[in-house]
Amino acid sequence: MTAAALEISGLAKTFGDKVAVDHVDLTVPQGSFYGLVGQNGAGKTTTLSMAVGLLRPDGGAARIFGADVWSDPARAKQLVGVLPDGLAMPERLTGREVLTYLGLLRGLSKEVVAERAEELLSVLELRDAEKTLVIEYSTGMRKKIGLATALLHAPRLLVLDEPFEAVDPVSAATIKMILRGFVARGGSIVLSSHVMALVEQLCDHVGVIDKGRVAAAGPLDEVRGAATLEDRFVELVGADSTGAKGLSWL
């Protein structure tokens, strides 16, 4: 049986009067590199939070390799590594301490944790910051340590919310290399972004979210057709022209 790496069906979330996510269905096939694009506030973060069990949906379900995130959280969370956007870490720990303790919390043995932490720190170029607390990390370093915690327990699916936001080009190149390697070895990735070029460059599948709904989803070439992803996106989302007028005093 080949269950999808991530299957989202009918997820919905309302905050007060605002419908943030309106019955979203998405299927991320195993081995795919899936890009979720949308404007700010389109509902990407809310959808991904609900998909991995960080936000309780009003309705709908999310399954990771067939394991329901809400009724079988232990198994589902074992299979997924998550990099949320803008959430805190245990800030007063060094990178190595974060990885060591989280690995132990995941039930890994002390030796395995030490090995993996060492390898992650050196691949992600965080070894120089051996004695720096996470609270003193730069934005790029924070993303990298977040990615390291997501990879630590050898998940089969990565869910990354804006992994390249505010990351310098050098760090971005490292992260891209690691993600490509992960997919090449059979892993599946979902990442959200509003940078179309990046999604086109990395992903083989894409989902377009607009105002809490799926505007289009499927293999990249099917979704964008003959145009670029950016053109197709603007067409789907319906650009409004107020921004094109320019500023009156400049």
Partner 1 sequence: MAVAVTLVRMKIAILRHSTTGQRGGMMASGGVLGLLLAAGTIYLAFQEGDWLAAAYAGWMLGWIIGPVFSGGGDETLRPEFFALLGLPARRLAAGLLVSAFVGVAPVISLVALAGLVFAAAPGNVLVAVPAMVLQLAIFVLLSKVAVGLLGIALRSRVGAVGAGLVNGAVLAFLGQAWVFAVAFGQGGRIPSFVRYLPSGWGLLAVQGDYLALLAMAVLIVLLLAAWAALLAGRTGASRPSTRGRRPMRAATAQEAVVAKELRTWSRDLVRTHQLTFALAYGVFFAGAPLALGWTGMLPWAAPVFIVMAAAMTANLYGIDGTALWLTLMTPGASDMRGRQRAWLVTVGPVAVLLAVAFTLVADGPWPLILASVAALLGGAAGLVPLISVYALVPGTDPQRRGGNPLRTSEDDGALTGLAYLTMLLVALSGAPAVVAALLYGWWGVAAGLATGALCYWGLGLLAERRLAAQGPELLHMMRTGRRPEGGGRSVKLPDLPKPQRTIVMTCLSLGAIPLFPQGIVAAAFLANGRVRMSWFLATYMPPGLRWPTAALMILIGLTMYGVGLWIPYRAKKRAKPVDGPAEARPAGTPSARTDPAVYD
Q: 90, 181, 218, 219: which one contacts partner 1 (CB under 8 A)? A: 90
Q: 92, 166, 184, 227: which one contacts partner 1 (CB under 8 A)? A: 92
Length of the chain, in residues: 250
Q: CA-CA distance, 4 to 77, in Å (whole number)?
A: 15
Q: CA-CA distance, 37 to 190, in Å (whole number)?
A: 11
| 82 counts as binding partner 1 under rule CB under 8 A | yes
Q: 88, 226, 244, 247: which one contacts partner 1 (CB under 8 A)? A: 88
For the chain, counts of helices (H) and of strands (E) = 9, 10
Tokens representing residue 31 in the block: 């081995």
- Residue 171 CB, shortest distance to partner 1, in Å, is 18
Q: Which of residues 210-249 bind partner 1 (CB under 8 A)?
A: none
Which of 153, 144, 204, 152 shows the shortest CA–CA distance to 174? 144
The residues pairing with 6 across neighbouring beta strands, listed in sequence order, are 28, 64
- Residue 134 CB, shortest distance to partner 1, in Å, is 8
* CA-derived radius of gyration, the chain: 19
Measured at the alpha carbon of residue 183, what is the angle toward residues 177 and 187, in degrees to the nearest 5? 135
| 192 counts as binding partner 1 under rule CB under 8 A | no
Binding mask 48-77 toward partner 1 (x if CB under 8 A, else -) reads ----xxxxxxxxxx------x-xx-xx--x
| 127 counts as binding partner 1 under rule CB under 8 A | no
Q: By the criterion CB under 8 A, which residues form the site for partner 1? A: 10, 12-18, 20, 52-61, 68, 70-71, 73-74, 77, 82, 84, 86-94, 96-97, 100-102, 104-107, 109-110, 131-136, 149
